Amino acid sequence: MNTEQIPPPWYKQFWPWFLIAIPTVTVIAGISMLSVAIRTSDGTVTDDYYKTGLAINMTLARDKQAEKLGLQAVGRIDLAGKQVIITLHGQNTAKNLRLTLTHPTTAQQDIVVNLLAGDNNQYTGPLPQLPREKRYILLEPADQSWRLTGNAMFPGMLQWSLRPGL
């Protein structure tokens, strides 16, 4: 009597399938990463680093100008009127301001609000949509001679402060 056991065929064993699964999963992951890379843009990558470096010096000059004028601001969102209200403190002569609520990663989600001067150094403008998530905030006049910056987490923060530099 022969008691020798015949091994099952290879396709019924664990190790061949395990060894086949490793490159298969790698190929599937590579194809999915390639499709994500093709469908999305590299919005935060710049082609001209030299011009960007020069622009940094201009930005620092704008911060220094705001500091020299003693500018600071407090902003808030009026949910009832769907508008942004900015109270500006310091030496300011601008009639109109531009408020930019920048999304950290997606430029299509940025919100720009044009603000008109009102009473008591208050500027108001219509808010097209309530921002979501974290936003970097930039307040500047039309001539871009100075800037105030800050950040806020929406929709939780309905009031924030802005100052020169970040």
Q: Into which CATH architecture does domain 70-162 fall?
A: Sandwich (2.60)
pTM score of the predicted model: 0.68
Q: What token pair was written down for 158?
A: 């309905």
pLDDT digits (tens, 9 = 90+) for 49-77: 666 666 666 678 888 888 888 999 999 88
Continuous segment of H or E residues that includes residue 56: helix 49-68
What residue spans define the domains of the chain?
10-39, 70-162
Cα–Cα distance, 116 to 122 (Å, whole number) = 8
Angstrom distance (rounded) from CA 56 to CA 60:
6
Cα distances from 49 to residues 53, 54, 58, 62, 163, in angstroms, run 6, 9, 15, 20, 27
Q: State what percent of residues in the chain have pLDDT above 90.
A: 36
**By three-state DSSP, how is residue 11 classified?**
helix
pLDDT, mean of residues 71-86: 88
